[in-house]
A and B are shown apart, each in its own frame.
Chain A
Amino acid sequence: MSQSLVWNRKDLIDVEPLSRDEIETIFTAATAFKKTMEADDKKQPYLEGRTVVNLFLEPSTRTRLAFEVAASRLSADTITVTGAASSLTKGETLRDTARNMEALKADMIIMRHSASGAPNYLSKVIDIPVINAGDGSHAHPTQALLDAFTLLEKLGSLDGKKVTILGDILFSRVARSNIFCLKALGADVTIAGPSTLVPKGFEALGVKVSHDLQEALEDADAVMLLRIQHERQTATHFPSIGEYTSMFGLNKARAEWLKPDAIIMHPGPINRGVEIDSELADSNQSVILEQVTNGIVVRMAVLHLCHCFFKGKTAELPAI
């Protein structure tokens, strides 16, 4: 039996404006697509004859691959343009690059960009759907959606569940989108890490801010680790990677503070031995690789829903 879904957006720029219903609609579609992943022939026909452009102006491996796989599983033709190969390095503006793609009759643009707000801008200058694959420190909606989808598979519901996000929150688009997504689904969110990367000002977003790792981890149902780097952007924010690991790295002893069987997540790429011990990353509590698999079906759901709305069609789902 096939079902159809209500969805009224052509773009997915951010999680913040999404209602709980909308998020659950994406998950309904993702669940249906996940079932089709069990078959030998994983192709679904929904984007047949459509062209999806992956405009990745900032380096990315797993997000780009996940979008490519998602689009091709929906039978779309995909074109991937990366930063170095784009005309932007020749001085072309983002508007001109995107409008050229529209003129090539692309049906959708998936964009990764180093500047916060770039997809907001893009969605104003072109008509076709824009899917944000991560913009600066602003938003990474599909990552947050796949994280929440994974958590829901494990926990059944997020209502009243304590989820802690640990690491560089200040510069993290993953953290921001996760905050909005988890809160929309009823979770209590704590963000933790060094005071310079987890400023108190984040409380305005309705989260608890903690610089005490034990307090942050105690009784958490899930902990989400973020990649820690010590490059140009954060060079003055904390002393060293070694200091970070000693104060905030997740190891076996600290994982004891979590609820038994608490879930450990990481959007990747992992710095083993920095934000997380190797042993924990590979443990049964870790869902890091399931996040990758779910990343495909959640993105299939998003592409399908946005495309259908843009074309004025009801989004049908595969028969279950």
Chain B
Amino acid sequence: MSDILWITGGRVIDPANQRDAIGDVFAIDGVFVDSLDQAQMTAATKFDASGLVVAPGLVDIHVHFRDPGQTHKEDIASGSRAAAAGGFTTVVCMPNTSPVCDNAGTIQRIMDKVERDSVINVYPTGCLTIGMDGEQLAPTGQLKNAGVVAVTDDGKCVQSNEIMRRAVEYAKMFDLPIMDHCQDASLTRGSVMNEGEWSLRLGLRGWPKIAEDIIVARNVLLAELTGAHIHMQHVSSANSVEILRRAIARGISVSGEASPHHIEFTDACLKDYDTNYKMNPPLRTEADKEALIEGLCDGTLCCIATDHAPHSPDEKDREFDTAPFGIIGLENSLASSLGTLYHSGRLSLSEVIALMTHKGAELCKLDAGTLSVGAAADICIFDPDEEWTVDADQFFSKSRNCPWNRRTLKAKIKGTYVGGTQVFDGTSITA
């Protein structure tokens, strides 16, 4: 007896296949099919999606699940449940765990735990350099064989141009995407927020945008030199968007992502020293925010990634200077991104879904983010107009460091399916 799923009457939006129409979605044994026969229809598990959007399961290529090593903040079980509750069915984890992912053994350990504890698809990344110290290349080939889908020293940026050059040249041989956290450390020593009027007002050490721009420009030149693809993580500065735009126009193989918080908030949000607005890179100005949105609209930035970065309440509950960088966003990312981009009239629903599904998946060469016949039946069903108020205390994540807490957002997840099986029913994890 097969497992048969029949989702009826929803607005089916599948940007990769240019589909946006009321219709049904079918899956047999966890794989999309184009129709069911009469017997299969009778046997199917049905979900009435009338009035709802039926989209591919969301894909996030930038999350931190803190597992192994910092599981008081998050682990694969809690992180994957938070993702499922946010409509995500595929995520890519950053390698700054403890120990860091610079060896095949750690990757194997993560894959084992994913197999055992995760309710969604979780892929690891490997470090670019040993210990993420930026000095010696990590064993990229072995990491790839162990299952990583990209290499990055996220959280740190390789400062040596020689090491970065060799890292990208070497990773290219394995056809692995390189993702870089763009930050010239010499310009950001002791910095905790964007350098500008608000850092002057608050007396906090400023973090100039040029610290990002310089590395984005360097990476463009390295991509041109080596032919490798370099992806710029969480782009925050208007100049960086422009550097990428010109590089892409010249045919250089680079890309960038934007985070939901950078397109919604600015450094003015720090006025009360709320550490839930402290992240790396920092929130910038209104002009930067606008440039990022423009970059998403014209395709310069190819996807939205949350940079879900959990920290325990105790760690965030302290003086601004000493609180850790990072915020969580998986459970509200669809709603906040739709608010910024769709409900504001900047992009269509289908365009925003593309930014949160197949675009990121393509970058990491993942078979995800579509409703294509034959693909794994990963589905996100949501009501784009239902309002709800974020209550971080109810999150499936172990952490609460969410700047959207207590804000009212529009778009509510009604069901998440992984491989044809419901993992979230709009209220509870059902896997």
Q: Which A residues form the contact surface with B (CB < 8 A)?
A: 93-95, 113-118, 120-121, 135-139, 170, 173, 176, 199, 201-202, 204-205, 233
Q: Which one of A93, A94, A135, A199 lies within 8 Å of B203 (CB-CB)?
A: A135
Known contacts: A115-B322, A117-B319. The answer to whether A199 contacts B200 by CB under 8 A is yes
Is the beta-carbon distance between A137 and B203 smaller than 8 angstroms? yes
Is the beta-carbon distance between B203 and A118 smaller than 8 angstroms? no
Q: Which B residues form the contact surface with A (CB < 8 A)?
A: 190, 196-197, 200-205, 272-273, 314, 317-322
Is the beta-carbon distance between A120 and B204 smaller than 8 angstroms? no
A93-B318, A115-B319, A204-B201 are known; give 12 further A-B pairs, CB within 8 A.
Answer: A115-B322, A116-B202, A116-B203, A117-B321, A121-B273, A135-B203, A138-B202, A173-B203, A176-B201, A176-B203, A204-B200, A205-B200
Give the distance to chain B from A62, nearest Cβ to Cβ, in Å.
Answer: 20
Known contacts: A117-B273, A120-B273, A204-B197. The answer to whether A94 contacts B318 by CB under 8 A is yes
**Residue in B closest to A203 when the chains form the complex, CB atoms:** B197
Cα-based distance from A135 to B320 in the complex (angstroms): 11
- Return chain B residues, CB-CB under 8 Å to A139: 203
Known contacts: A115-B319, A121-B318. The answer to whether A137 contacts B197 by CB under 8 A is no
Is the beta-carbon distance between A116 and B204 smaller than 8 angstroms? yes
- Return chain B residues, CB-CB under 8 Å to A136: 203-204, 321
Is the beta-carbon distance between B319 and A201 smaller than 8 angstroms? no
Give the distance to chain B from A316, nearest Cβ to Cβ, in Å.
Answer: 33
Is the beta-carbon distance between A94 and B319 smaller than 8 angstroms? yes
- Return chain B residues, CB-CB under 8 Å to A120: 272-273
Is the beta-carbon distance between B317 and A95 smaller than 8 angstroms? yes
- Return chain B residues, CB-CB under 8 Å to A176: 201, 203
Cα-based distance from A115 to B320 in the complex (angstroms): 7
- Return chain A residues, CB-CB under 8 Å to B201: 176, 204-205
7 residue pairs of the A-B complex, CB under 8 angstroms, read A93-B317, A95-B317, A115-B319, A116-B202, A116-B273, A117-B204, A137-B205
**Residue in B closest to A57 when the chains form the complex, CB atoms:** B319
- Return chain B residues, CB-CB under 8 Å to A173: 203
- Return chain B residues, CB-CB under 8 Å to A135: 203
Cα-based distance from A238 to B162 in the complex (angstroms): 30
Cα-based distance from A120 to B275 in the complex (angstroms): 12
**Residue in B closest to A169 when the chains form the complex, CB atoms:** B200
- Return chain A residues, CB-CB under 8 Å to B204: 116-117, 136-138
Give the distance to chain A from B405, nearest Cβ to Cβ, in Å.
Answer: 15
Cα-based distance from A204 to B196 in the complex (angstroms): 10
Q: Which one of A93, A116, A117, A201 lies within 8 Å of B197 (CB-CB)?
A: A201
Known contacts: A120-B272, A120-B273. The answer to whether A113 contacts B319 by CB under 8 A is yes
Cα-based distance from A233 to B320 in the complex (angstroms): 18
Q: Top 3 nearest A-B pairs by Cβ distance?
A: A117-B273, A138-B203, A137-B203
Looking at B201, B202, B204, B319, the one whose CB has the most chain A CB atoms below 10 A away is B319
Cα-based distance from A173 to B201 in the complex (angstroms): 10
Is the beta-carbon distance between B320 and A117 smaller than 8 angstroms? yes
- Return chain A residues, CB-CB under 8 Å to B273: 116-117, 120-121
- Return chain A residues, CB-CB under 8 Å to B318: 93-95, 121
